[in-house]
Amino acid sequence: DAGVIQSPRHEVTEMGQEVTLRCKPISGHDYLFWYRQTMMRGLELLIYFNNNVPIDDSGMPEDRFSAKMPNASFSTLKIQPSEPRDSAVYFCATKRGGGGYTFGSGTRLTVV
């Protein structure tokens, strides 16, 4: 089991550019979560899916953020246009049923 796979590991982009973060969940996990982690705010839930369907996107900060899960094997988080305040580590996490989360290694995003 390769775990939750996120790409890229690091992303540096200029303000105004589009950024796409990718996540491949563990096979058989029916929940997928996108979190953002910063020193100031800790771990913040952005959005989560159950069986590929978005359940709660109330944590998505603005319309600049969007997430999709077209199938059980893939999810994306897109920021368009990006801003310096979006700089953070973005984690994808998955779980099966009521169990604990398995986090990916994260994407460290820097917007300059």
72 vs 89, beta carbon nearer another protein: 89
Closest C-alpha to 11, from 2, 22, 3:
22
Give the CA count within 13 Å in the CB-facing half-sphere of 66: 8
Rounded least distance, CB 64 to another protein, Å: 22
* Pairwise CA distance, residues 51 & 29, whole Å: 9
Rounded least distance, CB 16 to another protein, Å: 29
Rounded least distance, CB 15 to another protein, Å: 25
The DSSP result for 10-44, as a single string, is EEEE-TT--EEEEEEPPTT--EEEEEEEETTTEEE
User: What is the contact surface with another protein in residues (CB under 8 A)?
Assistant: 31, 33, 42-43, 45, 48, 50, 55-56, 91, 93, 97-106
Rounded least distance, CB 91 to another protein, Å: 6
14 vs 44, beta carbon nearer another protein: 44
Give the CA count within 13 Å in the CB-facing half-sphere of 73: 1
25 vs 106, beta carbon nearer another protein: 106
54 vs 81, beta carbon nearer another protein: 54
